[in-house]
Structure 1
Amino acid sequence: MNGNSTRTGIDNPDRTVIVVGSGPTGLLLAGDLAAAGVPVTVLEKRPEKISNLSRAFVLHARTLEQLDARALADELEAVGQPLDRLRLFGRLTVDLTPLPSRFNHLLVLPQYEVEKALRRRAVEAGADFRYGTEMTALSQDADGATVETRGPGGVAESLSAAYVVGADGMRSAVRDAIGLPFPGHSVIRSVVLADVLLDEKPETLLTVATVGDAFAFIAPFGDGYYRVIGWNRAHDVADDEPLDLDEVKEIARLALGRDFGMRDARWMSRFHSDERQAPAYRVGRVFLAGDAAHVHTPAGGQGMNTGLQDAANLGWKLAAVINGHAPRVLLDSYQAERHPVGKAVLRSSGGIVRLAMAKRPWTLALRAALTTVLDKAAPARRKALGQLTGIGYAYPAPRGAHRLVGTRAPDVSLADGGRLYEALRGGRFVLITPEPYENQDIRKDRLTVERWASDRRTALVVRPDGYVAWASDTAEPAGVEAALAEHVG
């Protein structure tokens, strides 16, 4: 923090978190912090509005579970359209119905619907939104961080906080300010996007195919318009080259056999798809999340989902530290847990797009072999589904820990007739035991105590983000109390 900075514009900077960026990642994080009683200020350089120009169109099972823990999944399910089968590589159909989740499907809906729900939740929880406000500089020291901003009318202001989170996308100003590189490369250039009306409705909810040098994807917005994404290997031009609807229609005809009568484009753009990841998600009091930390190819629809799960992981940890319930060392686990997941998504989404666009004989043979394995071998199919949907990822556990520690806790039934993810809606840890546990008064603001609906004898402490913090097959009171002291505080 430089010696001339002043703590202005924020009432309680020693407890405040500044979130830069109001996309899905920043919105979920802001809502979680505000709901936990942490003052949060969101800076967004765009004017106040929900953009209709969405790139993401899919919510996966693990993300829907996280949204269920925030009482948002059901309303989004009512707006979106479920898809229980996904076609890859032309002849491979992936059945999602065996997923061990309440959400055993993809939910197809535009990103702006997700943003709308998350923003409402954050506002209702008390988050402070400052639109038309750009971060111009960032500094930090052992006591906090200071963000210099330029607001509406060019007004400059200096804002101080305990922590700053950069959720400001691929061209993150926060990442640049803390000196982190963003290594990687462009995978596909000259990808075209268009929002169009169609004279012919596609037979499937998501239409996707690759033929020769062409790839095309079509998804509905739900308002009559469709998003078209396409690529033609034979037409590799710069992003600033003019784009017209005839080019989009030609790519669709090459990949899909027809253009479905595309017309009346309300928006068109050309872009390139990158694979990049920051080497660290934290520098001192500054964190990165979502596209500011990692970007992937659109294959598999994992980008927005991964960012939302970054936010779910980071939010409760920041709240626990700021509220005095956990030591600062807890924040180190954000890097340890989420960076490997980002790297794995980079590999899986990149693998999908490379196999989809395979052209050389050896890559075509590899795609055929993988298709056969996924079609015939149930364990391989389960692992691939777990990665694609997010439910298969687990976090590192201490040596000697119970086998469940670090794994995703499924949405189990509870003795009172409820479900685990309903119990998580308070943003607290959840203790599940076979017998009533009485010693809870001192933690009632951060612990919910439940019992199994079944005769299971295991005891679990589930983190606010739905992962197992501690487990025991004996459920002895002394062990439970020690676990609560360690994890809940």
Structure 2
Amino acid sequence: MTGCIGATENTHTIEDAPAIGGAAAAGSAGTAEGAGSRLRAVAVVGAGPTGLLLAGDLAAAGVPVTLVEKRPRAISNLSRAIIVHARTLELLDARGLADELDAMGGPFGRLRLFDSVSLDMSDLRSRYNYALSLPQYEVERVLERRAMAAGVRFVHGAEVVGLTQDAHGVTLEVRSSGGESSEIRAAYAVGADGLRSGVRKAAGVPFPGKSVIRSLVLADVRFSEEPEGVLALKSSGDAFAVIVPFADGWYRVAGWNRTRDVPDSEPVDLGELREIVRQVFGRDFGMHGARWVSRFHSDERQVPDYRVGRVFLAGDAAHVHSPAGGQGMNTGLQDAANLSWKLVAAVNGRAPRGLLDSYQAERHPVGRAAMRSSGRVVRLAMARRPWTLAVRAAFAAAVKHVRPMRTKLVGQVTGVGLAYPAPKGAHRLVGRRAPDLALKEGRLYEALRAGEYVLVAPEGAGHATGRAVPAQWRSARRTTLLVRPDGYVAWAAEGADAGAVAAALREHNIT
């Protein structure tokens, strides 16, 4: 069985390269979308982790990239997101970055929800069978360095205030912090500029949803007494709290008290958080020395369309949800990894029909699932009525005693269990994440560092591979796999002959 899936005052324009793919045009399989435009540049807005990974991928593939960021040129000293999950580490490994980040972070093999639910990640079929505790600014620093080395053009202290698009490209109206206006012209634009995305607003894309919880208090602190266990979320009466250790002796603590429902603008100090932790855990562990304290609220929102013509949305510009499970930054980075290679194919005139639209088809359901699962956890943490407490107890019992449910939950939270839709009749592996397979040439995720498809064939098969990186199984396995640049299986077959392989390469326009 086989199957396939597939800031200057002047206008900044790059028009010195061959034809590219357009956003809305389509041709037959093997025909590039929208070939005929001469623009090759891509504009990325937002220099958080999502935008930095995407811009770095594009530039590494030779695509001219301008990255627009509202903040001045400096990495935020607030850690914000703090968990890097297994699937994200795999994607960073495919870019040669995971080992450096891994060395800086603190690994933990269990994620504890409530008092009796413990998610064990040690059984993950991954090189990274754990989650990594690491401040977001460390991830940004490494991704920014890579993007700069690849040639990304940074425009700091500027925001998008307008947007128009036509058959050949997108024009962004950008305003600097000093009030000066300029335009950036590109073949495609990607809004990775967060909850208040200027790209999303300029493109007229709605962001439906609601606030789930207000007045969460957040801080990075020291403890005189070491808290027990690992990443732990615990609730008690009208409050809940979560404690996450960093590798350097600091802890991220978040807390909420139902009786203290105030706006984000309300002053906050460490005493408020200390009291919440004492209420939930029975003691405050000698909390002291906060390097920052903040109050915020959590929304659940998702755009209906991740693509509007030549404009794409990714990360928090496309979806926001509760921080429960630490899926926010990870989902955004995985958005970027899904989209980047598709844009590379488009600007080089190689995107087969439907490839750009597959970003919506593949990533929108993932964002929706992350929003629902994290929302479910935070609502259970907030439970106080007898029937909601009974639901929480039933959920905890099911996760604890029903292995398939526990496995599914771990796979969803870590990203390792996520799969994309596959055509009817496709091989069972199509659309699934490829683990880090052992190859004669080394590891699969090392081969993916070329930014191309990888064709994994039985030893001695001798198939022509087109632009795909050739690889062979280290074992005697007879399955032939065509693995996409983002590590998902595009096509697979048992005992495939040269004709079947050639047809798969043509289907994906990589002959």
TM category, shorter: over 0.9
Q: Is residue 456 of structure 1 aligned with residue 481 of structure 2? A: no
Q: Is residue 177 of structure 1 aligned with residue 198 of structure 2? A: no
Normalised to the residue count of structure 2, the TM-score between the two structures is 0.91
CA spacing shift, 1:449–1:488, aligned 2, 3 Å: farther
Q: Determine if contact 2:306/2:313 at 8 Å carries over to the other structure.
A: yes
Equivalence for 1:3: none
Deviation digits for residues 257-304 of structure 1 (CA, Å, limit 9, x no counterpart) = 222223333322211101110010010000000000000101000011
Q: Is residue 81 of structure 1 aligned with residue 106 of structure 2? A: yes
For 1:444-483, list aligned pairs within 5 A. 446-483=467-504
For 1:62-77, list aligned pairs within 5 A. 62-77=87-102
Q: Determine if contact 1:193/1:228 at 8 Å carries over to the other structure.
A: yes
For residues 395 and 7 of structure 1, what CA distance do their matches in structure 2 show? 42
- Structure showing greater relative contact order (alpha-carbon pairs closer than 8 Å, 6 or more residues apart): 2
One of 441, 445, 449 as aligned partner of 1:425: 449
Equivalence for 1:243: 268
For residues 475 and 332 of structure 2, what CA distance do their matches in structure 1 show? 34
Q: Determine if contact 1:437/1:449 at 8 Å carries over to the other structure.
A: no
Deviation digits for residues 357-395 of structure 1 (CA, Å, limit 9, x no counterpart) = 221222222222222222222211111111111111111
Q: Determine if contact 1:447/1:488 at 8 Å carries over to the other structure.
A: no
Q: Determine if contact 2:459/2:476 at 8 Å carries over to the other structure.
A: no
Matching residue's letter, 1:308: L
Stretch of structure 1 that moved more, 149-158 or 220-229: 220-229
State the Cα distance separating 1:323 from its structure 2 match. Answer: 1.1
Secondary structure at the counterpart of residue 297 of structure 1: coil
Q: Determine if contact 2:159/2:198 at 8 Å carries over to the other structure.
A: no
Q: Is residue 121 of structure 1 aligned with residue 124 of structure 2? A: no
CA spacing shift, 1:158–1:328, aligned 2, 3 Å: farther
For residues 473 and 435 of structure 1, what CA distance do their matches in structure 2 show? 13
Equivalence for 1:486: 507
Q: Is residue 196 of structure 1 aligned with residue 199 of structure 2? A: no
Equivalence for 1:435: 459
State the Cα distance separating 1:196 from its structure 2 match. Answer: 2.9
State the Cα distance separating 1:220 from its structure 2 match. Answer: 3.9
Q: Determine if contact 2:110/2:230 at 8 Å carries over to the other structure.
A: no
For 1:168-317, list aligned pairs within 5 A. 168-317=193-342
Q: Is residue 362 of structure 1 aligned with residue 362 of structure 2? A: no
Matched residues, number: 480
Secondary structure at the counterpart of residue 300 of structure 2: strand
For residues 117 and 250 of structure 2, what CA distance do their matches in structure 1 show? 28
State the Cα distance separating 1:194 from its structure 2 match. Answer: 2.0
For residues 312 and 382 of structure 2, what CA distance do their matches in structure 1 show? 35
State the Cα distance separating 1:223 from its structure 2 match. Answer: 4.8
CA spacing shift, 1:328–1:164, aligned 2, 3 Å: farther
Question: Mind listing any 5+ residue stretches in structure 1 that lack a counterpart?
Answer: 1-5
Q: Determine if contact 1:60/1:390 at 8 Å carries over to the other structure.
A: yes
Equivalence for 2:5: none
Normalised to the residue count of structure 1, the TM-score between the two structures is 0.95
State the Cα distance separating 1:437 from its structure 2 match. Answer: 5.0
Matching residue's letter, 1:35: A
One of 1, 8, 11 as aligned partner of 2:11: 8
For residues 451 and 250 of structure 1, what CA distance do their matches in structure 2 show? 58
Identity of aligned residues (%): 64
State the Cα distance separating 1:10 from its structure 2 match. Answer: 3.5
CA spacing shift, 1:73–1:327, aligned 2, 3 Å: same
Q: Determine if contact 1:318/1:331 at 8 Å carries over to the other structure.
A: yes
TM-align CA RMSD: 1.7
Q: Determine if contact 2:464/2:498 at 8 Å carries over to the other structure.
A: no
For residues 448 and 100 of structure 2, what CA distance do their matches in structure 1 show? 17
Equivalence for 2:400: 375
For residues 218 and 47 of structure 1, what CA distance do their matches in structure 2 show? 31
One of 131, 139, 150 as aligned partner of 2:164: 139
Matching residue's letter, 2:191: G
Q: Determine if contact 2:240/2:256 at 8 Å carries over to the other structure.
A: yes
For residues 351 and 438 of structure 1, what CA distance do their matches in structure 2 show? 50
For residues 224 and 80 of structure 1, what CA distance do their matches in structure 2 show? 11
Secondary structure at the counterpart of residue 271 of structure 1: strand
Q: Is residue 340 of structure 1 aligned with residue 368 of structure 2? A: no
Q: Which has the higher helix share?
A: 1
Equivalence for 2:26: none
Q: Determine if contact 1:429/1:488 at 8 Å carries over to the other structure.
A: no
Matching residue's letter, 1:56: A
Secondary structure at the counterpart of residue 299 of structure 1: coil
Stretch of structure 1 that moved more, 305-314 or 131-140: 131-140
For residues 328 and 483 of structure 1, what CA distance do their matches in structure 2 show? 14
State the Cα distance separating 1:30 from its structure 2 match. Answer: 0.6
Deviation digits for residues 328-384 of structure 1 (CA, Å, limit 9, x no counterpart) = 631000000000111111111111111222212222222222222222222111111
For residues 375 and 203 of structure 1, what CA distance do their matches in structure 2 show? 20
